[in-house]
Structure 1
Amino acid sequence: MVRSNQSSTVTEFLFSGFPQFEDGSLLFFIPLFIIYMFIVVGNLIVFFAVRMDACLHNPMYNFISVFSFLEIWYTTVTIPKMLSNLISKKRTISITGCLLQMYFFHSLGNSEGILLTTMAIDRYVAICNPLRYLTIMTPRLCAQLSAGSCIFGFLVLLPEIAWISTLPFCGPNQIHQLFCDFEPVLHLACTDTSMILIEDVVHAVAIIFSVLVIALSYIRIITVVLRIPSAEGRRKAFSTCASHLGVFLMFYGSVALMYLRFSATFPPILDTVIALMFAVLAPFFNPIIYSLRNKDVKIAIKKLLCLHKVFNASAS
């Protein structure tokens, strides 16, 4: 696609963050496709294992199942388009499609971030105030927190996306990224882009606030756990938090690299690596962490798979 002239109006954006692999595109398409299938299937297994096992019907596992469900859609917003771009010579997306991709990608990401914060608070109450845990984290409150995380995550971005949709885009239409993101798109607007700094500050404040809440929760949790006299008691208490802490470090570690750099610029290849870690690798490891490091989830998955085999056997 040829760049538009300054006087013309851009109707499509061109993804230029993809290296020109030519005939070697399949070498990148196949692993990315396998990773995407693993993310979808892995998170579906975790979701249904939790939902179908009565032993896991408690707040912590409910939050895990909701998080797994969000992860499926979080990756579906971007990875299929990446796969299409790898095997297509026309790596374009309409302005409307770009805005929708930005909205759903960041709304789902915000929902996950809020949910991770909620999960940290849940673990704080469970370990630091165990006698009141069941009376505080009731099924109703758990459902309200899960729904609230999703609703707030989707509502908070509406004004920002509505503002971006009013901007005029003309001239260079190349997005130097693997998917539509705020900063690369705003740099293409043929108007004052000083709002980019405000966007960066808003995103940074939201990220830092969530990280502080989670960090303070776990500092308090670790302090309480270290006071447990028995080594077995400490091990059990830490094991209930290990999975969540691992997902938190991966999610917010990649988010920090992506959105807490302000005016700092990275080489294009490093930008691509960070984007892949943020949008692909972190979701890839989540079902592994929740299944392999959690004995209860592993048992539930085995039950689910056995039930599937019995159903297939009876059907045949």
Structure 2
Amino acid sequence: MEEKRTMVWNIASSIGIALTIPYILYKVVRAVYIKKVYGALAGKVVVITGASSGLGEALAHEFYKNGCQVVLCARRRQELDRVRMDLLKMHPTVPTLHPIIVPLDLGNLDQLPSNVDKIIALTGHIDILINNGGISNRGSACDTKLSVDMELMKINYFGTITLTKAVLPSMVKRNQGHIVSISSVQGLIAIPERSSYSASKHALQAFSDSLRAEVNKHNIHMTVVSPGYIKTQLSLNALTGTGAKHGQLDKNTEQGYTPEFVANKILNSVVQGKKEVVIASFIARIGIFLRKYFPTIYFLVMAHRANKSH
């Protein structure tokens, strides 16, 4: 009996060792790989739009603490100053260049190329452009003024692609670069009361897919990130059908992911060179699945949702 127990114990020990050694090796190799890849971020020039709050601010912290030269861009200079001070205060041991501030307005299309020229004059080049800035809307398509549709397209789509087109020549010349466009789950599946926002993000998705194919030969990477709800001020600043500010923090937004969580996912996606990333709940993923494979069911669900909102 004792011999049987000893034999069973020896077999169990052998199995345990056989399973443990590969796991330890995997962890060691992975740690070395991560350190090497993340180390490659050090010194990279990362331009972030919408960096004055929310996800843009969180992205600034993620890339800065990983050794990047971050360029903070947004309209509100005072808030950019605050973000810059927070970066220096919260990450004092980071061996990197100090954050740079370049105020810009995505709605001012004519000025964006000169904003890019200014950034390149200050940094020498741009390694990573993160197109994060944008606005949302609340209101039915019927009740939304055309001027609101145009405003969202101007900022979310035309502002983003104007900035991207201004950055591209320098990346092509250097034969390297990475462009990250922050879209939305609503760029993949449109929902009621978001026609303007969804349309602008749909357009950005299509532009990015075309651009990805075209710049591949220049070693320029394109990552499109489609997050679900994030707990930011996006709904507060969203435009209603009349063009006024929504001014309310929606329940879904309040219960959304933290900006820090999403920012970390985005940084990981950039490091891994992913082409497309969806950061969303199980329910949102079901919606994406239904829209793609069972559109009739999806249309019925959205019609029901629209009827409930009135």
The TM-score with structure 2 as length reference comes to 0.24
Query: Higher relative contact order by CA 8 Å / sep ≥ 6: 1 or 2?
Result: 1
In our comparison, the structure showing a higher alpha carbon Rg is 2
The TM-score with structure 1 as length reference comes to 0.24
Q: Larger strand proportion, structure 1 or 2?
A: 2
Q: Larger helix proportion, structure 1 or 2?
A: 1
